[in-house]
Structure 1
Amino acid sequence: MIDWKLAQSTANRFIKPGPELDSAEVAEVVDELRAAARRSVAPVESYTGLVADAASPVLVVDRPRWVEANLSTFSRIMEPVVTSLTAEREPSPAARAVSAKASGVELGALMAFLSGKVLGQFDPFHVDGGVGGRLLLVAPNIVHVERELGADPSDFRQWVCLHEETHRAQFTGVPWMRGHLQGLLDEFVDATDTSEGAVSALVTEALPELVRIIRGESDKSLSDLFQNERQSRIVDQMTGLMSLLEGHADVVMDAAGPDLIASVASIRRKFDKRRSQGTGLAKILRRLLGLEAKMRQYRDGAVFVRKVTDRVGADGFAAVWSEPAHLPTKAEIDDPARWIARVHG
């Protein structure tokens, strides 16, 4: 269904060049990011109580390598989707080849756009030699943003590493987290209705909402438009989970930062202002791709973490990591008192 090699080559063709750095500057950035990642382990563990798996690697990558890593993960995640769709109806070899190339070009162009936006990422689904997960730090993007903000480079790089190390601790320090997320993805695939009638109905209902998104009258993304009712319920669970993880990482990077980062308050202020900006086509693309919703996850999740911690303390908040049933729902992210009442009575 997707020509993965064509997706990579398309992305490579459209990826924008990063900031200009000579070989010595590249080596300096890579070395400093690796050192900052190592320095992040102890403060994150101390603040969160989560012990990351030391065997889970930290990789400093450029934009093409970030795309390559994500396409590799996507291809594994997509396997059950492909199996489900082809079980319903097997297209002719010619039709399948055309569809695969078209999807490869579309996916490659999308990944090229996203490759310039991501500072770091923990990939929980990568497995190598029995070790689950890997942390990716996208060096050119980090350098680009630190220059754009006028931030101290060492401070900004350390700040980003604190956030990403928190994600590594969440997924490798909470034994059931990776399996729980995988289970939600499996449920989402199982809920996909690939019948022609269902697909036609979704497209018909989605078109008017698509116009509203482009006009700025709707906060939905493209993925929201093509979900049935059962999938929407699963996505609500995912939204609650991802808001928790992103908000928690934002809180940790600010709370654990002052001992390591003198300018942490200034970086946060400038970074939040940058997050809220965006005009014209860029803003429309962010909305369509769900990046605007991603920004809300950071904000709402951080508010949830702070309010719960204020009410029941750090130990009370830590109940979120004890079992999947204690994860907040999307509604509880918006109303932390509901989570406190449910979990702590």
Structure 2
Amino acid sequence: MSDQHQPGDTPQSWEDMLRSMLGDGADDVMAEMRARGIDPTALGGPPDPMMMQYALAQVQKMLSAEGAGPVNADVAHDVARQVAVSEGDPSLTGRQAKDATDALAVAELWLDAVTDLPPAGGTRRAWNRSEWVEATLPVWNELAAPVATSVSEALATVLRDQLPEGVDDGEAVPGMPAGVLHGLGGILDPTQMMRRLGSAVFGMQVGQAAGTLSREVFGATDVGLPLLDSPDTVLLPTNVARFADGLDAPIEEVRQFLAVREAAHARLFTHVPWLRSHLLSIVERYARGITIDLDALEAQVRDIDLSDSDALRSALSGGVFGLQNTDEQKAVLLNLETTLALVEGWVDEVTAVATLPHLPHAIPLREMIRRRRAAGGPAEQTFSTLVGLELRPRRSRDAATLFAIVSRAQGQAGRDAIWDHPDLLPGTLDLDDPSGYLVRREAAEAEHADVDAALKEIFGSAEDAEPPTDQSGTDQPGTDQPGTDQPGTDQSDADRPEADDPTDEDRGPR
């Protein structure tokens, strides 16, 4: 006879009970219980009813808290903090904090010489990993929320059709211990339980990814998204020191190079007022266009028996969370990737120009950061799997080349002017052919100028063409008045709108 726990068996231990309920999610739940002072594996078995009720209350708190939303923020927070400190996260010493903030101050001086964008104006900060999690996790929850909502609703809809008759009325789900269902009380409705369990699952995944990122990032802007509401600049000395360990460059150079990158990002996000909303709106458009193929999802869970804990474990392991990206969605993702590449390319170019006169290892440090950003880390891969968003600026080299070309042709003012308006932002064609960007931009600007001139002619003529009236206020047809555009009237060039210049037709492609 197999020793494996079978559906419907009475759980012989706390671990058996949780695995019967949650499958692969049991490990995360037990980690959460340990964080709350309860070690399920140390409680022995079988569990007595009173202790079972207490433990189930902890599980219920995690899975079914009212207002948890599509992503359980409490679970995300707890998991992220646990992951952040899993490799150690000591408080920063005064020397570490001073070295970091001093490097950020020097970075501003160097950037003043190479860009017209002024300093962000925020506070210079040194954080440990836990502080980074606390400050940035709300944005990660917000990014994942729309996807979590769509997937959880679709999963609940499909599974509702698979439930045994009568379960929705509160009858026991076959195979789940009666004590478990009684203890979960307010979430007996399996459809609602699926939504809330989905919220907890997404919370765990977001927390895992954010916590992992906290061990990889050097500041608040590494991933290219504006994660802070304030214009602060940040360094994480622990991560900077670990990155510098083993490099040929001294840690002072590494710290200073990363500080310049952080300050450059902050200037861009602060003084290009449309950029933050532009990036976040791309993410929002992607989320708004998410569609879940219910037929495909139903095919994945059609044969699931809710009394089969192995089938439930497979269903909740993430296999059912497949997103169907439409052509429109793919275009939105390409737009996001291109914009992230432009942000990274500008920062890369500006940082190189600012550091080359001062840091002997600026070139190898630049190359190392380029490779690191293009490859992405485990946390970025987790977010890609979770919400389908690529945070890697794959084409940052092409973008940096484009900004360098513009800088050589038009100086730093021309390079920074690329950010003047989102409609003139370089696209994928410009990254394919950076050397031709300026020609295409001049043509686009000429077209805009033609449109503006035409509008000025239309509205200017309308303003000048007020019909004359006699003393009674009636129109006098055929009366020539100054400023009216009558047939045959000889109007001087000075009175005509500037768009009537006959050379306007030769300005180039419309």
TM-score bracket for the superposition, by shorter chain length: 0.7 to 0.9
Following superposition, the deviation at residue 150 of structure 1 comes to 3.7
Do 2:337 and 2:392's aligned partners in 1 also have CA atoms closer than 8 Å?
Answer: no
Q: 1:174 to 1:242 in 2, by over 3 A?
A: same
Q: Which residue of 1 aligns with 2:339?
A: 241
Code of the aligned partner of 2:201: A
Q: 1:312 to 1:229 in 2, by over 3 A?
A: same
When structure 1 is superposed on structure 2, of 291-300 and 316-325 the one drifting more is 291-300
Partner of 1:214: none
Aligned with residue 119 of structure 1, among 209, 218, 221: 218
1:100–1:63 Cα change, 3 Å: same
Cα distance in 1 for residues equivalent to 2:390 and 2:147: 26
Cα deviation 1:153-193 (Å, max 9, x = unaligned): 22111110101111111111112222222332232222222
Shift of 1:327: 1.0
The structure with the largest alpha-carbon Rg is 2
Residue 143 of structure 1: how far off its partner (Å)? 0.7
C-alpha deviation, 1:17, in angstroms: 5.4
- TM-score (ref. length: structure 2): 0.53
Higher helix share: 1
SS at match of 2:215: coil
SS of 1:59's equivalent? Answer: strand
**C-alpha separation between the residues in 2 aligned to 1:28 and 1:69?**
22
Q: What are structure 2's unaligned runs of at least 5 residues?
A: 1-69, 158-190, 300-320, 444-510
Q: Where do residues 54-133 of structure 1 align in structure 2 (5 Å cutoff)? A: 54=121, 56-78=122-144, 92-122=191-221, 124=226, 126-127=228-229, 132-133=230-231
Q: 1:191 to 1:244 in 2, by over 3 A?
A: same
Note the C-alpha offset of 1:225: 7.2
Query: How far off its partner does 1:287 sit?
Result: 11
CA RMSD of aligned residues (A): 3.9
CA separation in 2, counterparts of 1:319 and 1:198? 47
- In the TM superposition, 1:263-282 aligns within 5 A as 263-268=361-366
Q: How many residues align?
A: 316
> Which of 67, 81, 84 is the aligned partner of 1:12?
81
3-state SS, counterpart of residue 148 of structure 1: coil
Q: 1:145 to 1:315 in 2, by over 3 A?
A: same
**Which residue identity does 1:14 align to in structure 2?**
V
Superposed CA offset, 1:38-84 (max 9, x none): 12123223312112331x33332222222232221123445566677
Would the alpha carbon gap of residues 283 and 30 (structure 1) be closer, same or farther in structure 2, given more than 3 Å must change?
A: closer
Q: TM-score, normalised on structure 1?
A: 0.76
More strand by share: 1
1:85, distance to aligned residue in structure 2 (A): 7.1
Preserved contact between residue 149 and residue 271 of structure 1 (Cα < 8 Å): no
Q: Is the 2:402–2:435 Cα contact (8 Å) retained in structure 1?
A: no
Letter in 2 for 1:41: E
Once the two structures are overlaid, the 10-residue window that deviates more, 2-11 or 305-314, is 305-314
Amino acid at match of 2:212: F
Q: Measured at CA, do residues 171 and 233 of structure 1 come closer, stay the same or move farther in structure 2, by a change above 3 Å?
A: same
SS of corresponding position for 1:120: coil
Closer, same or farther in 2 for the Cα pair 1:267/1:80, shift >3 Å?
Answer: closer
Q: Matches of 2:362 and 2:106 in 1, distance apart?
A: 16
Q: CA deviation at 1:342?
A: 2.1
Give the counterpart letter for 2:269 in structure 1: F
> Alpha carbons of 1:114 and 1:126: their partners in 2 closer, same or farther (altered >3 Å)?
closer
Please tell me whether the aligned partners of residues 62 and 138 of structure 1 are also in contact (alpha carbons under 8 angstroms): yes
Alignment CA distance shift 1:18-1:105 (3 Å): closer
Map residues 295-310 of structure 1 onto 2, 5 A cutoff: 296-310=394-408
Q: Secondary structure at the match of 1:47?
A: coil
% identical equivalent positions: 23
Partner residue in 2 for 1:34: 101
Distance of 1:295 and 1:179 partners within structure 2: 18
Contact (CA 8 Å) 2:140, 2:206: kept in 1 or not?
no
Contact 1:47-1:256 within 8 A present in 2 as well: yes
Preserved contact between residue 130 and residue 214 of structure 2 (Cα < 8 Å):
yes
- Kept in 1, the 8 Å contact 2:220–2:235? The answer is yes
User: Which stretch has the larger CA shift, 235-244 or 310-319?
Assistant: 310-319
Give the gaps of 5 or more residues in structure 1.
202-222
Distance apart, 1:257 and its partner CA? 0.9
